[in-house]
């Protein structure tokens, strides 16, 4: 695989779609952020003149060949030697860097609070990323060389790719070559069956791969805007296979992709579905307890579920594993989050209610423009200017296979964000009860990712302080969002951080980090030991799936992951 493809894979895999406060981001929030910059500019004309003069001086130096501006050696956009040795391209890069430098200096002088500064920086970076000369054929030496080396074929292929995206991808540049992947054949291949199906979900049971299994089963609750087979991409990085090979009885919920008619599905409906899934799993396994694992927005759902079970006195919950999930968000956790306003969220709610759903394509498009350099311009260069196919990468295939979001569920997630419901004890009503995580006493395993831009690890760490659990383990994986989870044994670069001395976790992430030790390798074995120690005794593995009450039907990964809406 070409080195450029590996870079594309890594960058996009760090920025997979995720559900959070950003679904409440309205276009008016972007407009207000730009208006803030214009207002601050007008408030002090002399400041604007001063910075304009400084930028003009840089331009003169560039035109006379006296400029010393040079790209950051780590900036992958300017790696081609032509940026250093060709006078035309060197000047082009320096003009861009002069604008970048001028805007940075100007922003630093503006009188803004932390939230406003984050907004300003975020908008400025989007604008600057779009102005990069590498985004155009005339300004990209690598693309020009590719035209010569290919005899013009790269230009033709680039035009074909652009046309295909316009016709078949709703105008969005493709991040993945979907052609090599087929569900059930070379992706999501673990053996299992649907053992329960209703309007909102399927419950899948996977076939044991060991002679003995632990008594207490595990149920995975996936995010509502992504499909469940992220847990079973390929045999070498399948969480499902890892659980099965370690004797864990494995069940997974597969959410149905809602259409406009299902726009009324809210958190109460999803929690009721989770309660039914727990009932199904308990019936089939014969266990009174069920361990639960969940990631991202599935983790928020699992937290509401745990609270509901505690409030109703239902003792079915065993352990709870939360991966890359934020329950206590703050506006400054991520720069994009600073754009979200109360007015913007209200407008986003109104539009979603009118439409019934937020379409998967709109979610993906909006998310891509929040990280345009990684998720748009990289692919414009690769697919259109260089005339290359996007990488065929399983994580990106899954990410492109997103689902719609019901307007009611979107509203409930925004309510959790606005009210900080998980930080309160019995103040916010959700899914037919008052949310109170202090009543949840299940053993907890919480995972964060060092380079996670979507659910920053320090934000995920705050969850350790919310529950009434006495046994809480926090692990920090050396990777980004989904890559933090999909980090199986065998990865030579894998490592994680864990508290060196057992005991109560510190109140803050910074305090925790000071008392950690670095461990080489995947965190999966540590987690599996943790799960096994809380999964009861071993017994003979079941020879068949389902039971008399819940008969197996369609083979895994089921029908809902392939259903067209």
Q: Is residue 549 part of a domain?
A: no
DSSP 33: H
User: Where is the domain boundary, 88, 113, 146?
Assistant: 146
CATH number at residue 311: 3.40.50.1820
Q: Is residue 100 part of a domain?
A: yes
Residues 251 and 131 in one domain: no
Q: Is residue 388 part of a domain?
A: no
Residues 284 and 207 in one domain: yes
Q: Is residue 153 part of a domain?
A: no
Residues 287 and 432 in one domain: yes
Catalytic residue status for 296 = yes
Indicate the SS3 state at residue 171. Answer: coil
Q: Is residue 400 part of a domain?
A: no
| Residue with token string 């979900």 | 201
Residues 323 and 424 in one domain: yes
Residues 307 and 230 in one domain: yes
Q: Which residue has the higher pLDDT, 237 or 200?
A: 200
Catalytic annotation, pick one of 8, 18, 228, 296: 296
Please say if the pLDDT value at position 11 is more than 60: no
Burial class (CB in 10 A: 0-12, 13-18, 19+), 60: exposed
Residues 140 and 199 in one domain: no
Task: Specify whether the CB–CB gap between 473 and 503 falls below 8 A.
Answer: no
Q: Is residue 172 part of a domain?
A: no
Average pLDDT over residues 498-513: 92
Residues 103 and 251 in one domain: no
Residues 303 and 229 in one domain: yes
How sure is the predictor about 109, in pLDDT bands with cuts at 50, 70 and 90? Answer: confident
| Residue with token string 């461990």 | 519
How sure is the predictor about 16, in pLDDT bands with cuts at 50, 70 and 90? Answer: low
Range of the domain at 535: 192-329+420-540
pTM of the model: 0.86
**pLDDT computed for residue 41 by the predictor:** 66
Using alpha carbons only, give the angle 26, 29, 35 rounded to the nearest 5 degrees: 150
Q: Is residue 439 part of a domain?
A: yes
Residues 435 and 299 in one domain: yes
User: Where is the domain boundary, 146, 161, 180?
Assistant: 146
Q: Is residue 1 part of a domain?
A: no
**pLDDT computed for residue 12 by the predictor:** 47
- Provide the domain count of the chain: 2
């Amino acid at each position: 695989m070409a080195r450029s493809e590996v870079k594309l894979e890594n960058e996009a895999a760090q920025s997979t779609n995720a559900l959070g406060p950003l679904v409440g981001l309205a276009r008016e929030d972007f407009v207000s952020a730009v208006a803030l910059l214009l207002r601050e500019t007008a408030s002090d004309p002399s400041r604007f003149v001063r910075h304009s003069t400084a930028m003009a001086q840089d331009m003169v130096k560039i035109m006379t060949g006296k400029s010393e501006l040079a790209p950051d050696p780590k900036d992958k956009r300017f790696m081609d030697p032509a940026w250093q040795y060709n006078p035309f391209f060197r000047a082009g890069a320096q003009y861009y860097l002069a604008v970048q430098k001028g805007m940075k200096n100007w922003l630093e002088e503006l009188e803004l609070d932390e939230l406003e500064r984050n907004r300003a920086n975020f908008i400025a970076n989007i604008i600057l990323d779009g102005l990069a000369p590498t985004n155009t054929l005339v300004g990209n030496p690598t693309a020009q060389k590719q035209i010569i080396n290919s005899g013009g074929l790269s230009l033709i292929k680039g035009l074909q790719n652009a046309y295909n995206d316009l016709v078949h991808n709703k105008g969005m540049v493709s991040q993945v070559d979907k052609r090599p992947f087929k569900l059930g054949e070379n992706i999501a291949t673990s053996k299992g069956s649907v053992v329960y199906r209703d309007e909102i979900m399927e419950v899948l049971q996977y076939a044991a791969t060991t002679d003995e299994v632990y008594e207490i089963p595990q149920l995975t609750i996936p995010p509502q805007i992504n499909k469940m087979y992220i847990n079973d991409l390929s045999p070498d990085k399948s969480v499902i296979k890892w659980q099965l090979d370690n004797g864990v009885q494995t069940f997974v919920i597969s959410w149905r992709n809602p259409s406009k008619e299902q726009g009324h599905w809210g958190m109460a409906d999803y929690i009721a579905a989770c309660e039914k899934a727990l009932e199904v799993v308990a019936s089939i396994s014969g266990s009174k307890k069920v361990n639960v694992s969940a990631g991202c927005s599935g983790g928020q759902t699992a937290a509401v579920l745990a609270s509901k079970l505690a409030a109703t006195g239902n003792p079915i919950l065993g352990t709870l594993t939360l991966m890359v999930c934020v329950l206590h968000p703050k506006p400054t956790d991520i720069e994009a989050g600073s754009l979200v306003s109360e007015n913007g969220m209200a407008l986003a709610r109104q539009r979603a209610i009118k439409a019934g759903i937020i379409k998967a394509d709109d979610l993906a498009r909006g998310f891509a423009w929040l990280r345009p350099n990684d998720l748009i311009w990289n692919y414009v260069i690769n697919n259109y200017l260089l005339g290359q196919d996007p990488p065929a990468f399983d994580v990106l295939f899954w990410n492109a296979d997103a689902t719609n979001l019901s307007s009611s569920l979107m509203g409930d997630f925004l309510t959790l964000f606005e009210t900080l419901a998980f930080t309160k004890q019995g103040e916010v009503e959700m899914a037919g009860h008052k949310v109170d995580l202090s009543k949840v006493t299940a053993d907890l395993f919480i995972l964060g990712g060092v380079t996670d831009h979507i659910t920053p690890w320090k934000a995920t760490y705050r969850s350790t302080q919310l529950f009434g659990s006495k046994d809480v383990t926090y692990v920090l994986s050396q990777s980004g969002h989904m890559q933090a989870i999909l980090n199986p044994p065998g990865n030579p670069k894998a490592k994680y951080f864990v508290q060196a001395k057992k005991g109560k976790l510190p109140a803050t992430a910074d305090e925790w980090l000071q008392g950690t030790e670095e461990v080489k390798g995947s965190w999966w074995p540590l987690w599996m030991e943790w799960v096994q120690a809380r999964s009861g005794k071993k017994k003979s593995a079941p020879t068949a799936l389902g039971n008399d009450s819940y008969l197996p039907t369609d083979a895994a990964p089921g029908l809902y992951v392939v259903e067209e809406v």
